[in-house]
Structure 1
């Protein structure tokens, strides 16, 4: 069974399409393609995530734009891998989260799976979060079940995905009856990207160079760490609803109303926040963790990796590429796996992770 996972995360940089061949109990990655968002679509998605006027019309237009971006990524992937459409059992299309409110019983992912099926000629499985939320769960993170199947081993390990939001999957050693757990640790790249855009006019801190030139401002870091979310026990999930630029700006203005701080120091402090909160969450929840596998865009940031390692002195920090899955392919592969689970009518959630009332089959089917 070959499925393609489509992932566009909170970083809003574009769509990753990952093709996976699931043969018996073996998983073979066939290829990855990326389609960046055009600036207009990225701006609209950001506006919708933060709240804007005329939302219904704009949601409709953005959903169509998303479907077209997804279809472009699929076309590129089919060309690269020489796969025919009939070779692909389904596309797993997560959609773009613009509002995630599990505490109020709903989650909203922009998507147009019917149009995606029409454009690609391939069946689409979409809407993965809502069934878990309907069953009382957080609906996030969804990838721990995949992490457990792919990366669990004979010693305690964690998988730390650093996208816009950072989420950790804690994998007890094989044979340990402790359930797999997972939760959002807090901001990943989201706050740093927002600051780079505001202060430097750049979309992200390439190779962590700006943060490396700055120093951590302890009073600012303490103001960041005062956020109640970091003290909540799991299961928990978060997003742009909490950690947006306004969150960052409010704390900056309180500490530095005249805006005299070196912007490189702010970048360093935001990077430190991501590293420290993720490391603390892992050590507090699974103290015996021997290894942390990084994935997502943050895995490519050397400064962030260095800070994580500093806060995990007795833990080996590496990335999923060492175990055969490129850090930028993990989430796409996870949604390919979730599409497969739906086709097999098998549960895709872990109640111990999301606090749902039980295992649930995740997704809705849109035949081509």
Structure 2
């Protein structure tokens, strides 16, 4: 088995920016080993961020044009990253940026044209990891659990706190994973009301007080009662969550404080419900892992039976890019990279579309 050198690209629903991770993978004794060598995070300019945020409202032709221009933009960022670090790589694995996710209608769409990305960067690209699963009746999400199993199997639970929160764990020999619900998406939406991109360390939220009416409304959202497999996204947030925020007349600090308590309550419910050990470990990654108040609140709600592990900042910020790089490797090897036990599809699959540069 050769060593694969891959750049993983990730842009999440929190709209923090584009994460690039140059990773190496090697399989020894049926176990995948990895290392993250070089990383870069590129914040979106205000215009790009706004266009990505509102891309769900674009007409069909405008969206397809944006798919191409965003793919070209990705290619330029990767080419600069490669040249600056003098990287030798095999290919690029790109998640793209999700604009539409309605699996119940058979629809999921990630912009960032693979052909444009390949042409501009000059390297082979593997992308579009979700469509095949949705075509087989699956949710097309979450996808990261294959990496949780193959790279982080020593932990009982893996929790990602990006725009939304998702969790994965083993149960009866199967990997189970699903989107729990809210994470940074609601917090960033609230801070942007006062022209803050995010609440660093959760300091504003910590200074606030609980709004019981808002907490009750958020906890009553229908999505939380749905069985897994399930996934959610920006459409749900805009349709169901934003009206609750807008209907709550309170200080920003209190809105943030209440939101943190809400999302920690929902996470704790799922972890405790699925834990069968006297002492279990929970690995937390994603931007929310850097929110000190959120982590402290979650620890309190989980209790002493769950050990919360917050790893290095490098892994916190690049785990998703790392795993999409691994998914690209698995696709090239024609190995399973999307699990039907997670998505609810009719079968496991080796998903992703390969584009060659011209």
**TM-score, scaled to structure 2:** 0.92
Distance 1:14 1:253, change over 3 A: closer
Aligned length: 348
The separation in 2 between residues aligned to 1:165 and 1:129, in whole angstroms, is 17
The separation in 2 between residues aligned to 1:102 and 1:31, in whole angstroms, is 34
1:201 aligned to 2:195? Answer: yes
**Residue number among 272, 288, 300 corresponding to 1:310 in the alignment:** 300
Alignment-derived partner of residue 140 in structure 2: 139
- Counterpart of 1:207 in 2: which secondary structure? helix
Alignment-derived partner of residue 229 in structure 1: 223
1:337 aligned to 2:326? Answer: yes
Q: Is the 8 A contact 1:97 1:109 kept in 2?
A: yes
The separation in 1 between residues aligned to 2:328 and 2:236, in whole angstroms, is 29
Unaligned runs of 5+ in 2: none
1:39 aligned to 2:39? Answer: no
The separation in 2 between residues aligned to 1:266 and 1:280, in whole angstroms, is 21
Alignment-derived partner of residue 97 in structure 1: 98
The separation in 2 between residues aligned to 1:132 and 1:72, in whole angstroms, is 29
1:117-128 counterparts in 2 under 5 A?
117-128=118-129
The separation in 2 between residues aligned to 1:276 and 1:40, in whole angstroms, is 35
The separation in 2 between residues aligned to 1:132 and 1:281, in whole angstroms, is 25
The separation in 1 between residues aligned to 2:83 and 2:316, in whole angstroms, is 22
- Which stretch of the first structure deviates more once superposed, 7-16 or 282-291? 282-291
CA shift digits 1:17-71 (9 cap, x unpaired): 111111233212221112222211111111113x24xx23432343234224422
Q: Is the 8 A contact 1:44 1:62 kept in 2?
A: no
1:59 aligned to 2:66? Answer: no
Q: Is the 8 A contact 1:18 1:31 kept in 2?
A: yes
**Residue number among 240, 244, 253 corresponding to 1:251 in the alignment:** 244
CA offset at residue 300 of structure 1? 0.7
Alignment-derived partner of residue 20 in structure 1: 23
Q: Is the 8 A contact 1:211 1:267 kept in 2?
A: yes
**TM-score, scaled to structure 1:** 0.90
- Counterpart of 1:346 in 2: which secondary structure? coil
Distance 1:252 1:118, change over 3 A: closer
- Counterpart of 1:136 in 2: which secondary structure? coil
**Residue number among 82, 87, 90 corresponding to 1:78 in the alignment:** 82
